[in-house]
Amino acid sequence: MTPTNPSLLAAQAPTAAPGHALTPPPHTVQRWTGLSRAAVGGVLLGQLLLAGAPAVLDAGALDRLTTLYLYGILALMWNALAGYAGLVSVGHQAFFGLGAYAAVRLADAGVPAYPALLVGAVAVGLAAVPLSAFMLRLKGGEFAIGMWVVAALCHLLVNLDGLVQGETGTSLIALQQFDADTRRLATYWCALAAMVGLAWGVFWLLRSRVGAALQAIRDSEEAAASIGVAVLPTKRLIFVLSAFGCALAGALWLATAVTFQPKTYFSVQWTAYMLFMVLVGGIGTYEGPILGALLFFAVETAFGAAGVSYLIGLGVVAVLFALMLPKGIWGSIERRWGVQLLPVGYRLKLRR
């Protein structure tokens, strides 16, 4: 829904003449509801409980939750780019792989293991700035294919690094200074902090003027530019943010796996996962990718061992959702019942 300025509506509202009662407006513009306030409170409480989860959960459960957090980051980052800015990428595995590679390189240069994960992601985000000067000139299918080409090129260049040893790969050896339990806890809390920080960051960004500008650009770049929206800087901001988020997810995935093999980290399956989570959950909604990540995690947990048939099943489900529920699960719920748990825009409430 197009954001509306409530103060502007208030300024334009009719005033009552002396001695006459003011007629109630036929509608009101709102952002928060009782349900949305309760939902935000519930999310904050849940995040606090998850921070204390290591006190009651076993090692296997912590590993699975860490994986879920990383899936959530990927879904949120891809949706911010495609769902709100209209930049559909099929090559975001480039940033995922580069985040892991940068962490390996920094650790080899003497940077402590866990700081290397964050610094590596920041470095990838900075590298995305000059890359955006070229990529954001492309539109639609050209941008999507261009990102796939970038991912393939990054994969080839990383293979040429002697430290990586081609597809043989290498390891984040610096992690071996920690025992398994310490490493598991540190990685868990880092993944949780990354997911929470990026999720709330995207939430407040979308609620700002930048969020309104992104949606205007998604609908029509020409129309957005005609009303004063800085199209290229706004697109660059969300592009760099999504690159940083995916790179951080890749670096943290390396912390869980320890080993780095380019063909694994630069695989197109990562972007396929992002597509599945966002399309099934609801592209262009804030809650949709979160729901999609939960569903994907549940499906992977139940059927991930099925191998190729599992991947084929994911593809079939994604196609069916695209055809039958193009707005995804949460998008369909929002459209039918008007439910918003984490509102990023304003709503027009008609007075009955």
CATH number at residue 321: 1.10.3470
Structure confidence at residue 5 (pLDDT): 46
Pairwise CA distance, residues 224 & 152, whole Å? 33
Pairwise CA distance, residues 11 & 9, whole Å? 5
Both tokens assigned to 117: 């994960």
Give the range among 24-33, 93-102, 107-116 with minimum mean pLDDT. 24-33
Angle between helices 180-206 and 34-51 (to 10 degrees): 160
Q: What does the pLDDT average to over 83-110?
A: 95
Pairwise CA distance, residues 136 & 236, whole Å? 7
Residue at 134 is within a domain: yes
Residue 340 has pLDDT above 90, yes or no: no
Which one is predicted more confidently, 294 or 12? 294
Residue at 124 is within a domain: yes
The DSSP 8-state label assigned to residue 25 in this structure reads P
Residue 349 has pLDDT above 60, yes or no: yes
Residue 14 has pLDDT above 70, yes or no: no
Reported as a single tens digit per residue, the pLDDT across 129-150 is 999 999 999 988 999 999 999 9
Structure confidence at residue 61 (pLDDT): 95
Task: Give the total number of structural domains in the chain.
Answer: 1
Residue at 127 is within a domain: yes
Structure confidence at residue 2 (pLDDT): 43
Under 8 Å between Cβ of 343 and 206: no
Structure confidence at residue 310 (pLDDT): 77
Reported as a single tens digit per residue, the pLDDT across 241-292 is 999 999 999 999 999 999 999 999 999 999 999 999 999 999 999 999 999 9
Domain extent for 52: 34-341
Residue at 215 is within a domain: yes
Residue at 350 is within a domain: no
User: Of 316, 339, 180, 150, nearest to 255 (Cα)?
Assistant: 180
Give the range among 86-95, 262-271, 299-308 with minimum mean pLDDT. 299-308
Residue 152 has pLDDT above 50, yes or no: yes
Rg (CA), the chain: 22
Structure confidence at residue 223 (pLDDT): 93
Mean pLDDT taken over the chain: 88
Pairwise CA distance, residues 41 & 47, whole Å? 10
Q: State the DSSP string of 57-105.
A: S-HHHHHHHHHHHHHHHHHHHHHIIIIIH----S-THHHHHHHHHHHHH
Residue at 23 is within a domain: no
Structure confidence at residue 102 (pLDDT): 97
H helices of 174-327, in order, are 180-206, 209-219, 221-226, 231-257, 262-265, 269-281, 287-303, 308-324
In the chain, the N- to C-terminal Cα span, in Å, equals: 20
Residue at 113 is within a domain: yes
Structure confidence at residue 6 (pLDDT): 44
Structure confidence at residue 177 (pLDDT): 87
Question: At which residue do the structure tokens 């959960």 appear?
Answer: 57
Share of the chain above pLDDT 70, in %: 90
Buried residues in 217-255 as b, exposed as e (16+ CB within 10 A): bbeebeebeeeebeeeebbbbbbbbbbbbbbbbbbbbbb
Reported as a single tens digit per residue, the pLDDT across 169-225 is 999 988 888 999 999 999 999 999 999 999 999 999 999 999 999 999 999 999 999
Reported as a single tens digit per residue, the pLDDT across 23-67 is 555 667 677 888 899 999 999 999 999 999 999 999 999 999 999
Residue 319 has pLDDT above 60, yes or no: yes
Pairwise CA distance, residues 303 & 85, whole Å? 33
Both tokens assigned to 336: 């039918």
Residue at 54 is within a domain: yes
